[in-house]
Amino acid sequence: MQTTGNTILITGGNSGIGQGLAAAFHGLGNTVIITGRNQATLDKTVAAHAGMKGVVLDVSDGADITRVAAELIQEYPALNAVIHNAGIMQEEDLKTGETNTAEAHITTNLLGPIRLNSALLPHLLKQPSATVMTVSSGLAFVPLSLGPTYSATKAAIHSYTQAMRYQLADTSVQVIELVPPYVQTTLQGERQANDPHAMPLDGFIAETMEILTRQPDVKEVLVERVHPQRFAEKSGEYDAFFQRMNDMLVAARKG
């Protein structure tokens, strides 16, 4: 991916990783459009970055995706990149038998990117050079017991991204997967934002942008912090990593 000269759509760009990426790409002179469900936080983010655009979008709503995608293509004909960052993460107790939380995760974290891709790909395929970036997670490779459906949606995003990359190999669309580790964001509230076990957001964004700049043909963006999790199976450390990570985070919640 070229890091300059793009018109980039970033979902969930009003907080966390999406907001950090939006600021970084905007700082490099790209045209950046961010989406989110909250108009107030969109306005605050846009106000801090002159020229950035904000659009209200609920990625769990298929009709909203169709409408907003059509409007964006009309307003920004040079649109050539999308970063599928929007998502939710809530803990689940599988013993309760409740499924609303699981369904919300699947609709937002998995169907959202799939639907938006379907709406934007015909346009992106017409561009001389285009990029689709999905955001999975280290939890796609070693799941969190407290977030079973979240982890499952991210594993599905990884699989979907690989299949998409193969299908689009003979086109002008580059497919990249960003695989964050545990990062200090408000995805799970202020506890995560201040958790010393999580990677500082600024450091994650800086290392991510360095990788994208240094490796324009990269397929997976992997900061050093996520390598043990991403390659746990390959290294033979999967069982030990799974146990250690889950024991630590369950104990932290109890504490």
Q: Is 150 a catalytic residue?
A: yes
Residue 221 and residue 21 in contact, taking contact as beta carbons nearer than 8 Å: no
Q: Which among 150, 160, 166, 182 is annotated as catalytic?
A: 150
Distances (CA, A) of 205 to 22, 112, 144: 10, 23, 23
Mark residue 100 as left, alpha or beta (left: phi above 0; alpha: psi -120 to 50; beta: remaining).
alpha
Residue 13 and residue 36 in contact, taking contact as beta carbons nearer than 8 Å: yes
Residue recorded with tokens 């799974």: 242
Distance CA 56, CA 42 (A): 8
In the 8-state DSSP scheme, what is residue 13? T
Show Cβ contacts of residue 218 under 8 Å, excluding neighbours closer than 6 positions. 1, 176, 211, 212
Instruction: Note the helical H segments in 133-217.
Output: 148-167, 190-193, 201-214
CB-facing half-sphere around the CA of 232: CA atoms within 13 A: 20
Distance CA 120, CA 54 (A): 18
Distance CA 38, CA 40 (A): 6
Paired residues of 18 in beta bridges: none
Active site residues: 150
